[in-house]
Amino acid sequence: MLSKQVGVKFFDLLRPVLTKRMEYVGKHDKLTPEQVRQLILDEADRNHAQWYSNDVPDLNYHLPACRLAYLYIVAAANATTFKWILKNDPDLYQHVTGIAKAKRQLNVCAFGAGPGTELLAFAKFFDEEKLGHAVQVEFQLLDIEKAWLDSWHGIRDAIKDHFRTSYGPDFSSWPMFPNGNFMDQDVTKTDELDNLGDIWSHDVFVINFVLSELFHDDPGFRAFMTAVTSRAPKGSRFVFIERRGGMWERRMTNCAKEAGLRLSPFQEKSGWMDPGDGELLLGEVYDQLSKAPGKGKSPRNSWRVVYSIGVKE
């Protein structure tokens, strides 16, 4: 018997991912739950300092605690940002829903997408759209840090569990079915692109806070973007999302210009988590991390970005 259908909530999906990974880290590294939580909070402090250092952020993504800190603090807010753009940018909305209705499949390439925020966003987007059929979303993930596979697979499994509970075991009745293919790829290097074959036949490319993690105007990344764009199908969309500020707009403009993309006007947007999607859905994870003695932290519940959509003509 199916449970009552409940819409996708990002914090609800993240709860089992965080819980299982925190338990695994404790057992694998022989740490108490309190020690695991302290490591996460320490890395959360360090991440915040690095993100706002006005230099290349030195992030410990190879460490489980750093990745868990990202999932706890910013994953839901970043997913909300991308879902808002999918739903509210008229050109991107028509492009995505048009392909999803016609083909029942959407091919997505996400740069630096190891954590899984784009996956979360598409799950909620298609759950809300209720197209009346399943859409198979094929992800090509590009990230230099292979260790993100654990969170991406965890989020994928949480989405499947949610849809299975709400819609039954037949995935053809689900709003979305996620697949992913992870590529260990430095997006500032083009050396191996010619050996990869024709793998760039995607409908949507997502460049989500990649420029600010590179920080400097990297000619290697611009060359990579140009190489990928030259292989991408005509009409594909490139979604640039970044921190607000003229510097990031200039970086996006330079990338798009060198790649031959037609870039839409920049849009500065801000917002909050969707109603009903709050940190309390994290349950004990939130209670423990927000009330830790001396340095408890809560997840981010707002977002503020500039974005633009590039079109391959």
In tens, the pLDDT along 143-184 reads 888 888 888 899 999 999 999 999 999 999 999 999 988 888
Q: What is the pLDDT of residues 194-253, one digit of tens each?
A: 766 667 889 999 999 888 888 788 899 999 999 999 999 999 999 999 998 888 899 999
Residues in the chain: 313
Superfamily of the domain at 10-312: Vaccinia Virus protein VP39 (3.40.50.150)
Q: What is the DSSP letter of 42?
A: H
**All structural domains of the chain with their residue ranges:** 10-312
What pLDDT is stored for residue 105 in this prediction?
97
Q: What is the pLDDT of residues 27-44, one digit of tens each?
A: 999 999 999 999 999 999
> Does 294 score more than 90 pLDDT?
no
> Which residue in 156, 65, 145 sits closest to 118, CA to CA?
156
What pLDDT is stored for residue 5 in this prediction?
59
Question: Cβ(297)–Cβ(41) under 8 Å?
Answer: yes
Name the packing angle between helices 149-167 and 10-28 (round to 10°).
130
> Does 82 score more than 60 pLDDT?
yes
Q: Is 62 helix (H, G, I), strand (E, B) or coil?
A: coil
Q: How far apart are CA 238 and CA 206, in angstroms?
A: 6
Distances (CA, A) of 271 to 206, 240, 297: 20, 18, 20
Distances (CA, A) of 290 to 237, 282, 283, 293, 301: 39, 11, 11, 9, 14
> Does 1 score more than 50 pLDDT?
no
What pLDDT is stored for residue 140 in this prediction?
86
Helix (H) or strand (E) holding 258: helix 246-259
Task: Tokens for 129, please give them.
Answer: 């759209």
Q: What is the pTM of this model?
A: 0.94
Given pLDDT bands bounded at 50, 70 and 90, which one contains residue 107?
Answer: very high
